[in-house]
Amino acid sequence: MRILFLTSRMPSPPVGGDRFRVYHILRTAAEAGHRIDLVTFDDGRSDAAALEPLRRFTSSLNVVALSKATSWWRAARALPSLVPLQAAYYRSTVMSRRLARVFDDTAPDVVYTHLFRMAPYALAEQTRRDARWILDMTDVISAGIARSLPYRRGFQRLLYREEARRIARYESLVAPRFDECWVISEAEACALGRLAPRANVRVVPNGFESERGVVEPAREAARLLFFGNQHVLHNADAARFLARDVLPLVQRSVPGTSLDIAGKGSHALAALARCPGVRVLGFVPDLERELSRASLFVAPHRFAAGVQNKVLQAFSAGTPVVTTPVVLQGLAPAPGDIAKVADDAPSIAAAIVALLRDPVAAAALGDRGRSWASARFSWRDSLDAFERCKTVPASAERVPDRVRLAVAGA
């Protein structure tokens, strides 16, 4: 098949949940012999090295520059409307023209659109092109924003409450217009099913493949690890909660316990390094090494959306995991014995202490997590979903131009 990928962010390097997912879905399809055309925005921060893998995997690579200043102005102009600010941020006549040319040149069999913010471009071409249309929503973003509201303050809470309302309306309108809507977990499928009951929802999880095989851990005593994109609110909140509320309770029972916080944007959490036993590492290029050294990986998220890739990476490395119910819910259906789960600072600390005092139980927990993740998560699922498009008839609700344009926010 010829597959056109339409994305809002350059998917290389595969750092961050959205880039990670698109990069590996694209790579898997290309390695299976499908022809790939990529049309993507770029905000100017990508370098030539990031483009090289994409050039190897794609028949054509089309990059549209995205000006932050112009995009923020477009979002601001959308405030009096019903259009989600995220969708307005990514409006571009240049992208519309570029995409039309790529369609003319390539005639794709399948169009993979990543995230609702790029849906207007796909909808604008739908009635003029014969293809299978996939919208990879990954998460139900409106629900994720709603879960974050108790942790936001002041004007930011008001703004995000309004944005969640707009996105929910938008998601309910656009989801049935695609032949398939992909989400990352069963929990997200249920959420989208409630929001858009006519949508054809398919769970396509992320996969994990270690490039170096399983690393036998040489774990340090009483060393906790948390990593993630710290620019994202649920990760930054989890890091602060872990350093300020959980770690001191652990240190009362296991003196000398340390915590390393890593990941993109960690510099914003530099103040946490003043907490006893805390180090802020910043971006770490070799996560396998850090995971192999850690006694435990702790993901104490009080709110989150979808699947936390960082937790699956810890599972795949055999690192014992302590986390919260909201994270485990994103992994459903998951057995209850693959991680220690607790929902407040004292119970999270107690679970950590119990594992630090019993390395044999901790190792067994890590082994169970690794076995489950390796059996459950494979990029082959995304390839199967693409190839299924050849045999399943279209199911999207094709609509007249006036309705389509209203949905697209035109």
257 and 398 within one domain: no
Q: Which domain holds residue 262?
A: 223-376
272 and 172 within one domain: no
pLDDT tens across the length of the chain (410 residues): 999 999 999 998 887 778 889 999 999 999 999 999 999 999 877 777 878 889 999 999 999 999 999 999 999 999 999 999 999 999 999 999 999 999 999 999 999 999 999 999 999 999 888 999 999 999 999 999 999 999 999 999 999 999 999 999 999 999 999 999 999 988 899 999 999 999 999 999 988 765 445 455 578 899 999 998 888 899 999 999 999 999 999 999 999 999 999 988 888 898 998 999 999 988 887 888 888 899 999 999 998 876 778 888 899 889 999 999 988 888 877 888 899 999 999 999 999 999 999 999 999 999 999 999 888 888 888 999 998 876 665 555 555 444 344 444 43
178 and 150 within one domain: yes
Backbone angles phi, psi at 351, to 5 degrees: -65, -40
Whether residue 197 is preceded by a cis peptide bond, meaning omega within 30 degrees of 0, is: no
Residue 105's contacts (CB-CB under 8 Å, 6 or more residues apart) are 60
The model's pTM is: 0.85
Task: Write down the residue that tokens 């409450």 correspond to.
Answer: 161
Q: Which two tokens stand for residue 26?
A: 């694209």
341 and 243 within one domain: yes
> Distance between CA atoms of 292 and 214, rounded to whole angstroms?
10
> Distance between CA atoms of 89 and 118, rounded to whole angstroms?
10
236 and 337 within one domain: yes
203 and 237 within one domain: no
> The sheet that has 35-42: what strands, in order across it?
60-65, 35-42, 2-7, 110-114, 132-138, 180-183, 201-203
Q: What is the DSSP pairing of strand 180-183 with strand 201-203?
A: parallel
Q: Is residue 337 part of a domain?
A: yes
Q: Is residue 213 part of a domain?
A: no
Alpha-carbon distance values, 96 to 74, 91, 154, 249 (Å):
16, 9, 37, 54
110 and 62 within one domain: yes
165 and 19 within one domain: yes
Total number of domains constituting the chain: 2
The burial class, CB within 10 Å (0-12 / 13-18 / 19+), for 355 is buried
For the domain that residue 180 is a member of, what is the CATH number? 3.40.50.2000
